[in-house]
Amino acid sequence: MAERAPGDDGLPPRPDPRTGKPFPPRAPGYTGNKSGSEDDPLRDIHDPRKPKPPSGMGPTLVWWRGSSKAGIVRYVVSLGLLLGGMAVLTLLQDGDLGFLNARFWPLWLIPIVGAYLMSNPFNIDTVSAGADWVQWSRSRLRRTNHLKTYELTKIRTSYGGGDLYLDLYDDERGMSRTFAEWHRDRRIWDLVYNGIVHSVAGGADIRPQDIGVLKLTHHPALRARAQRDKKT
């Protein structure tokens, strides 16, 4: 199939589901690793296994798999946060760090176990994408979920726990991830964002604040959406 040029509506072309061409343009707002995967300490670059696409969907074009270091980093960060919180509380209440005394070793179980529950260090995430789908799986839980990125019906952004979330829904499923997770790989974000753009143009439910967060305010997708609304 020949590569498709942008249409009269100004939208970037939708890649062919079989070949992935033409690949979408660079999406705005990317905050992930910009120099590639070789120097990303949280990415497993030694595992050549390509994730299988969802049933009935086109081939996997790009994927990101977390390394064992990612779980260790999550655990250390969580442990540091809990220990810091305990230190602040004890200083405010007692004026010293008595819980650090060896006699109070049972108290150490609280941050040690709490950090484990918070970080789930042995859980490895894999996110993969094709021309018109994105898939997320977690190894330990053996959970897999996918969305059809050009058939999104609802798009939401929100803040929670200090993180900015992007929630996407198609007719059958939903997926909620932080922007940091969506930005694990530049190419995955490009593929997902192009699906968002076309879904917005097609009438997906999106609020003004979501449009701003996703940098769609002056995007041709809104003009295409307005023209569509006039026709209906």
For residue 213, what is the domain's CATH number?
2.30.29
Instruction: Please write the tens of the pLDDT for every residue from 144-175.
Output: 899 999 999 999 999 987 889 999 999 999 99
Residues 202 and 226 in one domain: yes
Q: Which helix (H) or strand (E) holds 180?
A: helix 179-182
pLDDT of residue 73: 75
Confidence of residue 194 (pLDDT cuts 50, 70, 90): very high
Read off the pTM: 0.77
Residue 43 lies in a domain: no
Residues 187 and 133 in one domain: yes
CA 86 – CA 142 distance, rounded (Å)? 34
CA 124 – CA 89 distance, rounded (Å)? 33
The range of the structural domain enclosing residue 143 comes to 125-231
Residues 108 and 76 in one domain: yes
What single string gives the DSSP state of each residue in 37-60? STT-TTB--S--PPPPPPTT----
Q: Which residue(s) pair with 126 in the sheet? A: 65, 137
pLDDT of residue 140: 60
Which residues, other chains included, contact 113 with Cβ-Cβ below 8 Å and sequence gap of 6+? none
DSSP state, 43? Answer: B
Residues 102 and 147 in one domain: no
Number of domains in the chain: 2
Instruction: Please write the tens of the pLDDT for every residue from 77-118.
Output: 888 887 777 777 666 666 555 555 555 567 777 777 777 666
